[in-house]
Structure formats: structure tokens, C-alpha cells
Amino acid sequence: MKRLFGLFLLIILLPAGAVYAQDDCTADGVVASFADAVASGTVEDWARGYDEGDCPANIKVGARTLAMAHITLSAEAIPFAAPTDPATLNPAFEADSGGVVENTYSLDPETGALTIAAGPKTNIWGNTASLVTYPLTGDFEAVVNVAFDPVIGAVHKVAGLCVRPAGNPATWLRISMNNGEQIFFKASVNGEDVATKEIGYSERTAFLKIERSADLFTLLYSMDGSNWTRLQTYYQEMPDAVEVFFVVYATGEEGTSAEFRDFWVAAR
């Protein structure tokens, strides 16, 4: 359905011979045509140039929508369940309990959702968080829908999307839902907290996204999966091979859990 919607957008936005060109407005750093942006892997930069330039509103909206349609068409949905057994984790993923018995995961055979549970006194810093990893290489964007409903004001109950060098638990970037009150960015390098940013957010579901372009990472969130807000863009050296992972932990006396759905990955 998502791919069909994207194709529909491409059809209505690109009638025969139609292009968005720099001549239509003053745009910042955009290439001459959408086709060139696709070929060079700069579709989002192309759309952002129109959005930030002195352009009519219809051109800004059209450029953003066209970029979204292209990304949708090139994205791949990654099911959490194994193809032959909806109750078993897809072997492309790897679960890590951090050595904590209460850290578990489960799959809903009907919806395909992945629920990750974390026991009390667990923490990403001590490698006792409950997580599920997925390997990626090169530039990418990864999106997941998270449902998380902790007690408001609970101390450090966290569910989020992260990226780290493959096999290195001490260096990572994270965008997460924290304590039922915030969307949170955090960066760790060799176990040291190096950057933090937060924004108030009280919804119980959120789409979280990480985009990689070489060593530049952009972390975004959305309530509907279409309208995105950038929380942070951060430069962090990482090797070509990384792990995207879903993390849940609770540093207090009570554990917690979160549900993950609709995991999408697209090469950039």
C-alpha cells in the first residue's frame, strides 16, 4: 500500500515533461532537475533547497511531496518475524538481553509487531538495556513506529531507535521517547555522554527516523510518519558497517516495555 501511494504521488506530480527547475524560484543549492537529484542521491537536499529558498508555496509543497514519494518507493519494509514462523524473530535481527533475565522480546503473529521488555535497573550505559539489532552498511535512512506508555514522570524509562558501530556498545546515537514526556537525542562516544537535546512530547506513539550521509546523522520524529521534525543533526565518525537497534530500558525499580512496528530501511 505504501509503495502504491508513492507511485500515485509520482504520477500526479510528474506529468509528462514536467520538472521543478531552479528558474521557478530562488532555491539554495538545488540541482537542475529531480532526475539529477535521484542519480546523485541528493533528493532530500534537493527538496530542502526549495523549502529554504524564496519559492512559491505550491513549489515547496510539491518538492517535499515528490521527495517523499521517491523515498517511499525505494524503501524496503523489514518484517520482524521470520518468513516461515511468525512467532520467531527474523534471523536478520539479533536480540541482546544484556544478561538480564527480565529483558525479553515477543512477536504478535497477527500484526507483526515486536514488543521489547526491559527489567528494572537496566541501562544502556551499563550494557544491560534490552535491545534488538539490525545490520546496515553505507548511507541509509531507517524508520520505525514506536508505541510507549510509561507512567508519566517515571525516572528514565526509555524506548528508542539507535545506531552504533557494529560490535561497539560504547559509541552510539539515539532518538527516543523518554518517560512519557519527551523526545530525546543522546550521543555517547566510548562510554562518555557527549551531546543531549530534548523536546516536550506527550503522545504515546511516534515514528522515529535516523538518516545517515557519511558521518553526518540526522535524527527526526513524526506523529504520522509523513510530517517530520528534525531533532538533531550530528557529526559522528562511524565505520561503514553499523547496527541500527531498538532499545528499551528502565533505571528505576519497575521495568517497562514498548511496541515497535513498521520498520523501513532505504539506501541513500
pLDDT number for residue 50: 73
CB-based contact 221:159 (threshold 8 Å): no
Question: Does 96 lie in the same domain as 68?
Answer: no
Whether residue 30 is predicted with pLDDT greater than 80 in this model: the reply is no
Contacts with 59 (C-beta within 8 Å, 6 or more apart), sequence order: 20, 24, 25, 50
What nine digits make up the cell of 28?
539554495
pLDDT number for residue 206: 97
Degrees to nearest 5, angle at CA 57 with 55 and 60: 70
Boundary of a domain, candidates 16, 49, 74 = 74
Name residue 160's beta-bridge partners: 176, 247
Question: Does 131 lie in the same domain as 213?
Answer: yes
Confidence of residue 148 (pLDDT cuts 50, 70, 90): very high
Average confidence (pLDDT) over 184-198: 96
pTM: 0.75
Half-sphere exposure of 180 toward its Cβ, with a 13 Å CA cutoff?
Answer: 10
Lowest mean pLDDT among 4-18, 72-86, 130-144: 4-18
Average confidence (pLDDT) over 98-121: 96
Boundary of a domain, candidates 27, 50, 74 = 74
Question: Does 68 lie in the same domain as 189?
Answer: no
How many structural domains comprise the chain? 2
Q: In terms of residue numbers, what domain contains 42?
A: 2-74
Task: List the end-to-end C-alpha distance of the chain, in Å, as a whole number.
Answer: 22
Question: Does 135 lie in the same domain as 65?
Answer: no
Alpha helices in 21-144, H assignment, sequence order: 34-40, 43-52, 57-74
- 93 vs 29, higher pLDDT: 93
Alpha-carbon distance of 81 to 239, in angstroms, equals 28
Average confidence (pLDDT) over 189-211: 95
CB-based contact 96:132 (threshold 8 Å): yes
Whether residue 250 is predicted with pLDDT greater than 90 in this model: the reply is yes
Confidence of residue 5 (pLDDT cuts 50, 70, 90): very low
- Using CA atoms, how far residue 178 sits from 84, 120, 147, in Å, is 35, 15, 12
pLDDT number for residue 267: 86
Question: Does 87 lie in the same domain as 208?
Answer: yes
Whether residue 158 is predicted with pLDDT greater than 80 in this model: the reply is yes
pLDDT number for residue 74: 63
Whether residue 165 is predicted with pLDDT greater than 50 in this model: the reply is yes
Q: How far is CA 153 from the centre of its chain?
A: 25
Average confidence (pLDDT) over 97-112: 95
Residue 217 has phi, psi (to 5 degrees) of -115, 130
The single-letter DSSP state of residue 23 is G
Confidence of residue 75 (pLDDT cuts 50, 70, 90): confident
Average confidence (pLDDT) over 203-231: 95
Alpha-carbon distance of 122 to 120, in angstroms, equals 5
User: Across all residues in the chain, what is the average pLDDT?
Assistant: 84
Question: Does 126 lie in the same domain as 15?
Answer: no
